[in-house]
Chains A and B, each alone.
Chain A
Amino acid sequence: MVGQYTYILWLTLFVWVPIILMFSYNRQLFHRYKGTMVYCIRGALLFSIPWDFWAIKTHVWYFPSDRIIGVWFFGLPLEEYFFIVFITLEVSMLTLILIKHFESKL
């Protein structure tokens, strides 16, 4: 597709663009709960880094070298750190939007 930037392209389309869109329409909401989102990201990193490390080392999944930038930290490609942080942020943001939506219907 776009060679070593393929994973970055996927993150852009499915993670970063939705985050930017959600943020544009709910800035005050996310500012109010920024501690919540930081907490969730911290928890996700705590669980996901060992999990991902184990999965790569024990041959559960793999990342072809021609689809990633090639920068690795502690056994994981850089893009995986982006995946963990920003997918968590995306889900956390959607959760906050849904909480606000359902509470406004009460």
Chain B
Amino acid sequence: MNIHQRSLLINIVIVCVVFAVLWFINFGTFSYIASILLFAGAPIVHLWARDRHLLDRHIKVIFWIIISGLVATLICETIALKWGIWGYYSDSVLGIFVGPAIETFFFSTLAFSAIAGATIRMAHIEDHNRNK
């Protein structure tokens, strides 16, 4: 099994475990935040555990992705809620709104960090393979 296949298998296991935990345990008003910490947090932990030094070298990139994500969330999510594109059930969220629900800011921080981290990792691998 090569590194990509192993990584894919680990991610599939993470998704299955997280889905099972969330499906069978009712987190009530902590449901949204719990799902963010598990679905978005788990890939970040996996990435940092495997590629910490690489991601540390690009910490400025990740920082600016997070800042951009927070600003974009404030604007785009506010508009989406105002236009009625989606909504949240009140018994599944904490009920703290800063425009969008506060959990959404955690979502963009963690999810965008995960995408940035995966991009940095794969770009590094593509460069390495090209230079072989």
A interface residues (Cβ-Cβ under 8 A, vs B): 1, 6-7, 10, 14, 32-33, 35-37, 39-40, 43-44, 46-48, 50-51, 54-55, 58-64, 66-68, 88, 91-92, 94-96, 98-99, 102
Contact = CB atoms under 8 A, between A and B. Distances in A.
B22 A95 contact: no
A92 B111 CA distance: 11
Nearest to A99: B61
Contact of A91 (B31, B69, B75, B92): B69
A63 B86 contact: yes
Contacts of A35: 122, 126
B85 A58 contact: no
B61 A102 contact: yes
Contact of A50 (B19, B58, B60, B61): B19
A94 B126 CA distance: 17
A95 B115 contact: yes
B84 A64 contact: yes
25 contacts: A1-B83, A6-B83, A32-B126, A33-B126, A35-B122, A35-B126, A40-B115, A47-B15, A47-B43, A58-B22, A58-B31, A60-B31, A60-B92, A61-B88, A68-B85, A91-B69, A94-B65, A95-B120, A98-B60, A98-B61, A98-B64, A98-B65, A99-B61, A99-B119, A102-B58
A91 B115 contact: yes
Contacts of A92: 115-116, 118-119
Interface of B: 11-12, 15, 18-19, 22-23, 31-32, 35, 39-40, 43, 58, 60-61, 64-65, 68-69, 72, 75-76, 79-80, 83-89, 91-93, 112, 115-116, 118-120, 122-123, 126
A72 to B, nearest CB: 14
Contacts of A43: 11, 43, 118
Given A64-B86, A88-B115, A92-B115, 17 more contacts: A10-B85, A39-B118, A47-B11, A47-B15, A47-B40, A54-B35, A60-B89, A62-B87, A64-B87, A67-B86, A92-B116, A92-B119, A94-B68, A95-B61, A95-B119, A98-B61, A98-B64
